[in-house]
Amino acid sequence: MFALSVATTVAVLSLRRTTRNWRRSGMIRIGIDAMGGDFAPNNVILGAIEAHSYIGTDTKIFLIGDEKKITEVCQHYGLDSGNFVIVHAPETIGMGEHPVRAFLKKKQSSLVVGFNMLAAGKIDVFISAGNTGAMLAGSVQVLNNIPGIIRPCIPAQIPLADGREMLLLDVGFNSDTRADVLYQFGIMGSIYAKAMMEIDNPKVALLNIGAEAEKGNVVSQEAYKIMSDTTEFNFVGNMEANQMFSGGVADVLVTDGFVGNICLKQAEGMYELVAKLGVKHPFFNRFNYETYGGVPVLGVTAPVLIGHGVSTPLAIKNMILKGEQVVRQGLIDKFKKAMMDGVN
């Protein structure tokens, strides 16, 4: 088993004394940034209406944003705003604003209010298709990392030719990583694949330029050594990029956020290209971002999901449903338990 640092061990031991189940008994409260995204609040509210027909009876949606604008949209479309709890937040962080400066300055923005509600336990998950940088800033500044987690990450589900999906992480949170960080991505990816994708004993691979252990840069080689010795997950070795979409090699593919983001953008570009060429095949249709809705931030102390800035109502609906699933599966508690078990 990979040896955790002294600082990490102390942090995890502290977690034993302070941790509590994130999933509270009773209602699941989903907070949505109603002002987040290029087509907010219209698409967000329409997506919330669609999701309302699918969520459990024990789930409540909180629309966080300008109350007047939210009410006006509901009235325009003839929607019943009584299905939601509206939380007034008069300010908005725009898509083009500097993430950190805007987050620190606009205390009454829908995004900041949402994070504060999440940190205070007033909602159980926070979702936004707004400014991605501000969402990442809130994840680390308001929520902090789960004790023992070195760096959070963002995963994405990639369609495979055999009909299944593979989890790719990180896809943009960390441009540079260390070997022990990649190792932790493997732990979180394996837990996510079990809980959210219903894969028993998921196969975890390391993205590299060759299958041999000595391939790749220094970080990749060191990560390979650590992963090869672990009992925390089912490591199957290196995997090359030309195997990404074929299936059968791995269920979880670990890399840094720089390479992972390039892989994700390549997949998105392929979907757009085949659509322009008029190629119709069920496999390519599964690359549509609307299917997945949004991506979670893994490794922080409460559930956060980030959506595409141009999210449609369908994408918003699917992001809400994924958020509900994250809470029901107790994903945060599973990560906390993994960190506590890691020092035993």
Q: Please tell me the predicted confidence (pLDDT) of residue 77.
A: 85
| pLDDT reported for residue 59 | 94
CATH code for the domain in which residue 178 is found: 3.40.718.10
Each residue's pLDDT tens digit, 214-272 = 999 999 999 999 999 999 999 999 999 999 998 889 999 999 999 999 999 888 888 88
- Domain extent at residue 265: 151-292
pLDDT at 286: 87
**DSSP category for residue 153:** B
CA distance 173 to 28: 27
Q: What is the model's pLDDT at position 63?
A: 96
Closest CA to 328 of 30, 17, 16: 30
User: Residue 26 — very low, low, confident or very high, per pLDDT cuts 50/70/90?
Assistant: confident
Q: SS3 of 168, please?
A: strand
The mean per-residue pLDDT over the stretch 192-216 comes to: 94
pLDDT at residue 92 is higher than 90: yes
- Identify whether the C-beta of residue 32 lies closer than 8 Å to the C-beta of residue 107: no
Question: Do both 123 and 139 map to the same domain?
Answer: yes
Find the mean pLDDT for residues 287-310.
91
- On whether both 216 and 238 belong to a single domain, the answer is yes
One domain, residues 268 and 158: yes
Q: What is the mean pLDDT of residues 122-147?
A: 93
**The pLDDT value given to residue 342:** 67
pTM of the model: 0.87
Q: Are residues 255 and 127 in the same domain?
A: no
Query: Kind of pairing, strands 165-169 and 125-128?
Result: unpaired
Q: Which of 292, 307, 324 is the last residue of a domain?
A: 292
Residue 329 has pLDDT above 60, yes or no: yes
pLDDT of residue 81: 75
% residues pLDDT > 70 (the chain)? 92
Q: Is the domain of 338 the same as that of 222?
A: no
* Shared-domain flag, residues 140 and 274: no
Would you call the peptide bond into 41 cis, given omega within 30 degrees of 0 as the criterion? yes
Q: Alpha helix locations (H) across 53-177?
A: 67-76, 99-105, 110-119, 132-138
Top mean pLDDT of 126-130, 212-216, 272-276 is at 126-130
Segment 148-175 shows an average pLDDT of 93
99 and 1 in one domain? yes
- Per the prediction, the chain carries an average pLDDT of 89
Total of domains in the chain: 2
Q: How far apart are CA 327 and CA 23, in angstroms?
A: 6
Query: Is the four-CA dihedral 107, 113, 118, 120 of positive or negative sign?
Result: positive
Q: What is the CATH number of the domain that holds 85?
A: 3.40.50.10950
> Confidence band (pLDDT; 50, 70, 90) for 23?
very low
